[in-house]
Amino acid sequence: MASLTDLVNLDLSDCTDRIIAEYIWVGGSGIDLRSKARTVKGPITDPSQLPKWNYDGSSTGQAPGEDSEVILYPQVIFKDPFRKCNNILVMCDCYTPQGEPIPSNKRYKAATVFSHPDVAAEVPWYGIEQEYTLLQKDVSWPLGWPVGGYPGPQGPYYCAAGADKAFGRDVVDAHYKACLYAGINISGINGEVMPGQWEFQVGPSVGISAGDEIWVARYILERITEMAGIVLSLDPKPIKGDWNGAGAHTNYSTKSMREAGGYEVIKEAIEKLGRRHREHIAAYGEGNERRLTGRHETADINTFKWGVANRGASIRVGRDTEKEGKGYFEDRRPASNMDPYVVTGMIADTTILWKGN
C-alpha cells in the first residue's frame, strides 16, 4: 500500500505525457502571492505554449463580485522543485477579459520601461538582496526568540553559526537549493543582523527578469516555510526598538556604467535619483518609515545622501567601483516588501529615460 509520501513523490513521467503547471500571480494587496495548478501536455519549454487562464478576482481583491473574472497571461516558466520531473512553475500577470492590465499588474508597466530602445541598449543589471524574517507560527514572534521575550543584543548573529545564533538554517538552505533547481539566478544567502532574519540575493539579472525571479523565489520560500510550519514575514520593521529592519537593497548598473568612464555616469544617475527621492520612497514599500530612521544602517527617510562604502546612506557606491572608475551602485532604500517590478522599472526610468524636467 502506497503511503501519502509515496503518492506526493510519485514520478508520472513514465506513464503520461501530461505535466502539472502551477500558475503564480501577485494578489490584490500587491505583496501576497496566489497560485493554482492545471494539467497540460508536456514538455513545455516556453510560456507561449501555455494557455491563458482565469480566476475569481473578487476573492483576491482584484475585481468586483459582479464582474469577477481576471485573466492570467503566462510570462515566464521555471522548473518546479516541489513536484520535480517536467512539472513547472509559471509566473503570470493579470488582465481584464478585454486585455487591459488590471491596476495591481505592476509587471506590465515595468515591461514597457524595459522594452524601450534606450533602456534595452543599456542592458540594465540588477542584484537584489531580499531580507526576510522567520516567525514562530502561532505567536508571530521571530524564530529562536523566547516567546514574549528577547534574545541577547545584536552583534553575534550576522553571518553566524551555532544553535544559539542561527535560527532556521534548514529552511534557508532548502530554499537556496530549490531556487537553483528552479533555474532562478540566486547568487547567495546569509544570516542577518537581527536573529531570525535572513537574506538571499538574486542576480545579476537583466531587466524584467529581476522582478520575475524575486517573485518566484518569494513564492518558493512561502511554500517551504508552509511545509516547515514557519511564517515568512516581509515586514520592513518586524520588531520595534534596537533591532535592524528588513530591506531589499537593489544593486544596479547599466552598460555605460560598466564601461570605462562609468563612474561619471553613476554620479549622474545618483543625482537624478536624488531629485526624485520622494517619488521613489513612495513606491519603495509599505511601512518603510519605520525602517528608514537614520539608525540601523539606514538613511533617514526624508534625507537623500550617497557615499562610498557608507551603509548609512541612501545610495552606496562600493570601493571597487570608485577605484576602477566604473561598476555599479546600491540603492539601500527599498523595503523588504517592495514590488521588484516597481523598483527595478522605476530605477531604469529615472536613470535612463527621465530627462529631469
Q: 125: closest CA among 25, 259, 237?
A: 259
The HSE-up count of residue 188 (CA atoms within 13 Å, CB side) is: 8
Examine the domain organization and report whether 228 and 319 are in the same domain: yes
pLDDT of residue 357: 67
Q: Report which DSSP code applies to 36.
A: E
> CA-CA distance, 81 to 36, in Å (whole number)?
16
The residue ranges of DSSP E strands in 167-229, in sequence order, are 186-191, 197-206
Domain span at 30: 4-104
Is 57 contained in some domain?
A: yes
Please give the angle made by the CA atoms of 247, 251 and 253, to the nearest 5 degrees: 160
Which has the closest alpha carbon to 154: 246, 247, 237, 243? 243
> What is the rounded distance in angstroms from the CA atom of residue 21 to the CA atom of residue 125?
29
Residues 119, 18 share a domain: no
Q: Is 109 part of a structural domain of the chain?
A: no
Tell me the C-alpha distance between 198 and 192, whole Å: 5
Whether the upstream peptide bond of residue 101 has omega within 30° of 0, thus cis, is no
pLDDT, tens digit (0-9, with 9 covering 90-100), for 118-164: 999 999 999 999 999 999 999 999 999 999 899 999 999 999 999 99
Judge if 254 and 198 occupy the same domain. Answer: yes
110: in domain: no
Inside any domain, residue 65: yes
Looking at the DSSP assignment, which residues form a beta bridge with residue 23? 36, 90
Please identify, among 58, 77, 104, the residue that sits at the C-terminal boundary of a domain. 104
| Same-domain status, 88 and 206 | no
Amino acid identity of residue 31, one-letter, is I
pLDDT tens profile 272-311? 999 999 999 999 999 999 999 999 889 999 999 999 989 8
- CATH number at 46 reads 3.10.20.70
- Is 141 within a domain? yes
Same domain for 120 and 82, yes or no, is no
Q: Are residue 163 and residue 246 in the same domain, yes or no? A: yes
Q: What is the pTM of this model?
A: 0.97
